Each structure stands twice: as structure tokens, then as C-alpha cells.
Structure 1
């Protein structure tokens, strides 16, 4: 039996459940849950999620993906095929209109975020693709690979915008800064790097941020988990 290796929930609905800390109030769990649910339902009612309903996508080691509508049915909306090897990553675009997937087959694929329909294959990596990350405006996508590179893709044009070498070994993880101007990456070389000026290709530069990398995020403050070798 194949195993689901990655899942992703449509982000607009996830954000809708959050509460802004505008005041230093404390809430009981039941009250917090009630407020979050009300905000979530309000966003759905106003079309905050593309298509008007929450979706979930899963990727499997049998190279397939499934799109789900978890609130309404236990049956998938779509079975998504095209990858030839295990699916390593699935990500909704911030506007939830697209899904990006990364696979050990060296390819990044784009899918319709509402129907699961295949759109295109982004070709360029020469080895396994580990992760993908969307810019906040959903216009750019960055991928990291075993081939030691990052690649930045123009989503609308469906073409490679930037090839970013710099790591000495496999690149395991990647993320965007909230302003979309920087990309942070970490890999097997145990180095955490930040690339500046992504939207101005002639001005791209990088700097080493930290070593002994494990996992990172860049929303909104850079954070990395570092193994304890003491």
C-alpha cells in the first residue's frame, strides 16, 4: 500500500482562522475557537478562498496526488497523475488558484487549485526536487533540489527566471521573505543562505546566514532549527 508523504491545506482558509493580537486580551479555548470559526466562515462567504471552499491536496510515494474537499466528502475531488516518482512536496499558491508539486523525478508541476487539472511541467533540475515555495503574490515559485541549485520560476509565463547556484551539496529547504525580494535556503552543506534582489536578476547576491542548518521558515522572521552538538 502506498503512503501519503505530504499534505497541504488551502492557505486562505487557514489564515482565516487566525486572530490578530490587536489588544492584549486573553481568551478561553472555547471563545477562541468560536471567534476563529466565525472569521473562517466570513472569509468563505466573501470568496476569500478561490472557489469558495476549503481544499486539501496530498502527495504520495506512488507518484500520485489527490485533491480533497474535506468538509463535504471523504472521496477525493480529483486524482492527479503525471509524476513518475514519489511526490516530495505539494503547495497551494497563496491565492489558492494553483498547486505546485515537487518530485524525485526531477520535475516541478503546476495544477489547477480548484479542479486538480494538470497545467504544465517546469523542467530544469537535473536531480530530485525536494521543496517548492511560493512568493506572497503567487507570481514566482522557487524550487530546491539534490542538484545543489535553486530555481526561480515565472509562473504566468511558465518559464525559468533565475538559476541560483551557491550551495556545495543538496538543497533540502527553501522559503521566501514576505516582501518577495529574498530567498532563504539550506542544504546538506550545513549552510543557511539568503539570496537578495530576486526580482532584479542582475543584482542577485547571497550571504551565509548560519551553519549547521536543519529546517527553516521565513514568515515573517527568519528562523532555523539547529541540532545540538554540545
Structure 2
């Protein structure tokens, strides 16, 4: 007798164990009977390799079972495929509707401009672009002849933009107006003197403003936004002269100094597009520069308009001849970081780049375009933010914002940090611009939204 009931431990058996007869004789477990069946019946026991659609559907039903994850009813299996197809069709229709709706929003966007001043024209029929004569400062000088001084404190502020100011520029040459754009999708032009109020707003973008640039004659300005649109606005009337719908987000836009009809746009898909609004074909596209390997961060034209500089997230800075898709110089290094902002020194001998390693580097504006080893400005915190920089009118000082709500000023000749002003708001200061005719006035703003004037 075996040690375990149901098993035989006698040595006479050839196998290690034998199934006891106490197990119920079922067809699935009767191995001897299956082995003794006829060859014709053995073929039936083999697994069928091919099934029809109806058999497959029946097998799926048996596999689902009656558990908590089983089908609700037999009709569910028959209609599941139809329901899946219907759901897919609904998703496709929904996606198509959303895309069409977005396109319609872009097409149906109406540009609106509101004037908030007392009168658009003076008694001689001149708009606010005309340089005022009732100001103590002579704003018609080509270049400032007085020595500039360090700003010491915040003297006033403007309401700015709700949610943060993303672009801020003085009117070139005179500086009696300043242009700003923000996360509220609105562009505003402010009176720097007199009442210090907003004179006109420009509404037409559906996403936050990315960059603003005046043309050389200041009669119009360019705006780029996260809605993938670039628009050319009339500065006085608020009408849109040119509107471009691009395939990628325009990270920066720059107008050619010698020709207000030409401008370049840097996209996040690593391309730089060159436009001329006098050309009717391809919306005025005359050239594409595509040697960068990542999204464009900043663009800057040479003062004579013959070349331009570009920086990218591929951590390189390239210099291009106008309308030639081959860079004449690539500035790169293994230790170089990406540079989100570029600006040219008033002497036109250098250009500076804000770097993500908390430094400002200087480069020669003449061939071979090498980096100046001694003109490195540090002490501020700019990593992680696209912080701008600016120069005083005489070129003696360079100033920059900071991620800790401070305004830094350095001496250009010695690279020594001279002052640090704490700006209210305790948020990063990303936009800075020095007045082109005043000796010590600087405007700055950032994610706090308000625009501050330091003197």
C-alpha cells in the first residue's frame, strides 16, 4: 500500500507513479483511453491551427467568462467591434474639428487698436511719433555727448501687463516712447514723459508675446507670439501691414537696419526665415537659413545690415551674410552654454551675449569674431531665464537683469561690478533697456508684470 492514498508505490510498476482508479473517469483525464483510440480519432484530438471568424468569436466568448471582467451580455461581443469603430470615427472627427476651429480662430482674429491719449494729432497734424519739444532733454541728438551715470534707485513704475511682461523696448534714437508686450496677449505703447500713461494698445495675438522690434524708421514695429504669427503693425494707427502664419513658433524677430521692408524670423524648428514685404510670392519669403541644429534663441543685425548674428539651443553662435545660406563664422566650444540674448555695443566694435552659465561674454564684431577673454561680466544669476542686457548711450556701462529681482551694472572697460539695485516684486527681471538719450534712466520688468524706471 502506498504512503499516500491514491498512489501505488510497488516496484513492479515501470513508471514512477500511476494514476489511481479512484480519480473519476473523465474523457479529458483518461490518458490510456486516449492512447488506445484509433488513429482516425487521434487526428480529431489535434489542435486546430486555422479557425473561421465565427469560431474565433465563439472562442473569445468562452475566454471572457462570467467573472467581474466578463462581458455584460452576449450582445456586447457582437457590437464591440462596431462600437470601437464608431469611437475611432468620433475621435477623428473631434480632432479635425479642433484643428479646423484653431485655424478659424487664427483666420478670424481681428486686430484692434485703442487710443487712450487726449488726441491722436496735435495742432499741426503730427502724431505721438513726433519728438516732443517741451522736454528738458534734447532728444534729437544722434549720439549722446554727455557722460552717463549709474542708476541708483527706482523712481516710478507703470502698470505693465497682467501675468508678466515678456518684451520691452525704448523707441530708438529719441526714447520718448516705450513699447511693451506681455502674457496678456496685448502690446502697449507708453509715454515716457508727461503723464506716464499708456497711449495705445494693439490687440490681435491670441497667445503671449514673444518678441518686439521697431523698424529703422520707427513708423512700424514687428511682433512675434506663441500663436505662431508674426505681424507688422503701424506704430501710430495700429493697423496691421503684414501678417504671417508660420509652421513653428517664432522665437525672435529682427528688422534689417538699412531697409525697413526686410526682416528675419527665428523659429523653434531651427530655421531662420528671411522676408521682404515687397515680394508677393511665398508671402515674401526670399531665403531660408537652416544650418542650426536646434531652436533659434536670438537674432541681431549688424549696424550696417550686411550681416546678422544668431544664437541657438545647439550652444552655437553663427554669423551670416545677408541672404546667403552659409554661415561665415561659427562660434562654439565644448564648455559653451546656450545664449538666449544678443546685443551690440554702441561703439559697433563688440557684441555681447547673455549666457546660461551666469555670465555675459563679449565678442569682436570684426573678423575673426573671436571672444574677448577679459571682458566677461559675472555676479548675477541668469541660468534658466532668457534675460536681456543693455548698454548706456556712451558705452561706458552694461546692465542686465537677474533671476532674483535685481538690476546689475558693470563697468565696460574693467568688467567690474558697480551696482546692484533691488527691484520690487521678488520675481525675475528679464527685460532691461537703457534710455538712448538720458544719462542714467533704465527701464526693467519681468514676470511681476510692472515696468520700473530706475535713475
TM-score by length of 1: 0.72
Deviations 1:77-97 (A, max 9, x none): 222111111001111112111
**Per-residue deviation at 1:227?**
5.0
**Correspondence 1:63 to 2:185:** yes
SS at match of 1:119: strand
Structure 2 portions without partners, runs of 5+: 1-161, 359-455
Q: Following the alignment from structure 1 to structure 2, what is the Cα–Cα distance between the partners of residues 83 and 192?
A: 30
Shift in CA distance, 120/73, structure 1 to aligned 2, threshold 3 Å: farther
Query: Of 75, 79, 85, which residue of structure 1 is paired with 2:201?
Result: 79
Aligned residues: 185
Quote the residue 1:223 is aligned against: 352
Given the alignment, which residue of 151, 156, 163 partners 1:2? Answer: 163
Shift in Å at residue 170 of structure 1? 0.8
- Bigger Cα displacement from structure 2, 86-95 vs 134-143: 134-143
- Higher percent of residues as strand: 1
Query: What is the alpha-carbon distance in structure 1 between the residues aligned to residue 195 and residue 288 of structure 2?
Result: 41
Q: CA deviation at 1:156?
A: 4.3
- Residue 291 of structure 2 contacts residue 326 of structure 2 at CA under 8 Å; is this kept in 1? no
Q: How does 1:134-145 map to 2 (within 5 A)?
A: 134-137=255-258, 138-145=260-267
CA distance in 1, matches of 2:278, 2:171: 20
Is the contact made by 2:242 and 2:277 (CA closer than 8 Å) also made in structure 1? no
Q: 2:272 maps to what in 1? A: 150
Note the residue ranges of structure 1 that are not aligned, 5 or more in a row.
Answer: 15-53
Structure 2 distance, partners of 1:107, 1:228, is 31
The aligned counterpart of 1:89 is: 211
- Contact 1:185–1:194 (Cα < 8 Å) also in 2: yes
Residues 1:128 and 2:249 aligned together = yes
Q: Deviations over 1:39-86 (max 9, x none)?
A: xxxxxxxxxxxxxxx322211112111122232334422221111110
Tell me how far apart the structure 1 counterparts of residues 196 and 351 of structure 2 sit (CA, whole Å).
37
- Mapped to 1, the partners of 2:344 and 2:223 lie a distance apart of 20
Summarize deviations over 1:116-170 as a string: whole Å, max 9, x none: 33222123x3222121112112232111121211111214446222111111111
Partner of 1:165: 290
CA distance in 2, matches of 1:71, 1:155: 34
- Shift, 1:190, TM fit: 0.4
Query: Normalising by structure 2, what TM-score?
Result: 0.38
Q: 1:13 aligns with which of 171, 174, 194?
A: 174
Do the aligned residues in 2 keep the contact of 1:67 with 1:116 (CA within 8 Å)?
no
Give the equivalent residue in structure 1 for 2:387.
none
Q: Which has the larger radius of gyration?
A: 2
The answer (yes or no) to whether the contact 2:288–2:325 under 8 Å persists in 1 is: no
Distance in 2, matches of 1:226 and 1:2, equals: 25
Distance 1:92 1:174, change over 3 A: same
Q: 1:226, CA displacement in angstroms? A: 4.2
Higher mean C-alpha displacement, 92-101 vs 65-74: 65-74
Q: Distance in 1 between matches of 2:356 and 2:243?
A: 36
Change (3 A) 1:210 1:168: same
1:111 paired with 2:111, answer: no
CA deviation string 1:18-45 (max 9, x = no partner): xxxxxxxxxxxxxxxxxxxxxxxxxxxx
Aligned residues of 1:122 and 1:159 also touching (Cα < 8 A) = no
In the aligned structure 1, how far is the partner of 2:266 from the partner of 2:285? Answer: 13
Using the alignment, how far apart are the partners of 2:226 and 2:212 within structure 1? 13
Q: Per the alignment, do residues 61 and 141 of structure 1 end up closer, same or farther by CA in structure 2, a change over 3 Å counting? A: same
Offset of 1:225 from its aligned partner? 4.0
Q: Is the 8 A contact 2:265 2:273 kept in 1?
A: yes
1:205 aligns to what? Answer: 326
Query: Is contact 1:101-1:109 (8 Å) kept?
Result: yes
